[in-house]
Structures are given as structure tokens and as C-alpha cells.
Chains A and B, each alone.
Chain A
Amino acid sequence: DIQMTQSPSSVSASVGDRVTITCRASQGIDKWLTWYQQKPGKAPNLLIYAASTLHSGVPSRFSGSGSGTYFTLTISSLQPEDFATYYCQQANIFPVTFGQGTRLEIK
């Protein structure tokens, strides 16, 4: 199985800050990396697929990059509604595997 490792596991930031979360795959997955946002008590929401393609309706302050084994999710200017947990998921092959999550908290 492909292991996905996110860092940091948690981060504190303020409204307006720029934040970057990283995700590393244990082997190359080309561009097949997905990012989700999850708020407490809710199902995850798709943010970005194929490493850098924004899902419909996702604000442009979110961006993704990377290929192979190293990927990033960047939020350019944090808004209050962005405080949540973020997960990466490799989408290259089954079994699908997720990172352990990054909790983004208000400073």
C-alpha cells in the first residue's frame, strides 16, 4: 500500500495568513493526489483533485501543487471558515489511502 504522510499534524494561524500543508507519498503517484476539507461533525468536502485542479465552487485562495511523491496545499489568505482538518488522499491505485490529517486552528 502507498503510505501518505502529512505535515504538520496541526498548525495555528490567524485570519489573513498564508498556510501551506504538505503531503508525501511513499512511492510515486504522478499527479493523482486529492485534498479534502473536513469540519467537525461533517463529511469531508472535495477541494482539489489531480494535485492542482480546484473542484467546482472551491474558492481560488486554495491551491495545490506537486507531483510524484511531494505535494502541497496552500491557502493564500485564511478566512474564518477555513479552520478545519485537511486530508490528502492518493488516487493513483487501489487501495485508496489517506494522510493522517492536518488540523488548522485559529491562533
Chain B
Amino acid sequence: QLQLQESGPGLVKPSETLSLTCTVSGGSISSRDYYWAWIRQAPGGGLEWIGSIYYNENTYYNPSLRSRVTISVDRSKTQLSLRLSSVTAADSAVYYCARQVKSTTSSDYWGHGTLVTVSS
């Protein structure tokens, strides 16, 4: 059974860089059938796609975040990483990693999510 687990600091200071890791177990992150995505949800808010990465490391980013986002994979550790620079309070959210089926761009497996608060 595929499992995804986000990890990283729960508190980040304004203007600093948010860094999260998603560890994937029970499956490969090298399949051509899937993207791997980061999605976030502000408290009480809706879902916002941050970006996705494909097995060949092609990346796709939300235009509103593109200048600040980097998504990468470490195949040896079966991990997905997110870096978001110059954070503000507006970046406070629950951050989810998810597997997206390439043919439908639907996310069929999600991590439990990790809450990140931006505050000094």
C-alpha cells in the first residue's frame, strides 16, 4: 500500500525559506504513470496546487508561486522535496504531498499533511 508522509519544521520565520520533505513508501517514484505534487490549504481555506514533478524531473509550478518554488526528487531516498522562499504569513497552511495519475491529473494518494505556520 502506497504511503506518503510529509515532514519538516512547523514554524518558519517571515522572509525565510520553507523546506518540506515527503517520504514515499510502498511504491516507486520513478514511474512514467504519475506526477508527484505539492498542494496546500490555508486554515479554513480551499485547496491550492503548488506544483508537480514528473519522473524525468520536469516540473510544473503554479504561476502565482513560480518565482519562489522549487520541487525536486531524491530517488535513492524515494523522497519529494518542496522549497518555498521568502515566505510570509500568507504561506501559513497545511502542506500535502500527493501522487497524481498522469492520464487524469487526479491525486489518488495523499499524505496526511503538515501544518506550517509563518511567524516571527
- Residues of chain A at the chain B interface (Cβ within 8 Å): 1, 32, 34, 36, 38, 42-46, 49-50, 55, 87, 89, 91-92, 94-101
Contact = CB atoms under 8 A, between A and B. Distances in A.
A104 B101 CA distance: 27
Contacts of A94: 52, 60, 105
Contacts of A89: 47, 105-106
A101 B112 contact: no
A95 B63 CA distance: 7
B60 A46 contact: no
Interface of B is mostly: strand
9 contacts: A34-B106, A43-B111, A44-B110, A89-B105, A89-B106, A91-B106, A94-B52, A100-B46, A101-B47
A55 B61 CA distance: 26
Contacts of B61: 95
Q: Is the interface of A mostly helix, strand, loop or mixed?
A: loop
Interface residues of B, number: 23
A105 to B, nearest CB: 15
B40 to A, nearest CB: 11
A46 B107 contact: yes
Contacts of B98: 43
B49 A98 contact: yes
A87 B62 CA distance: 18
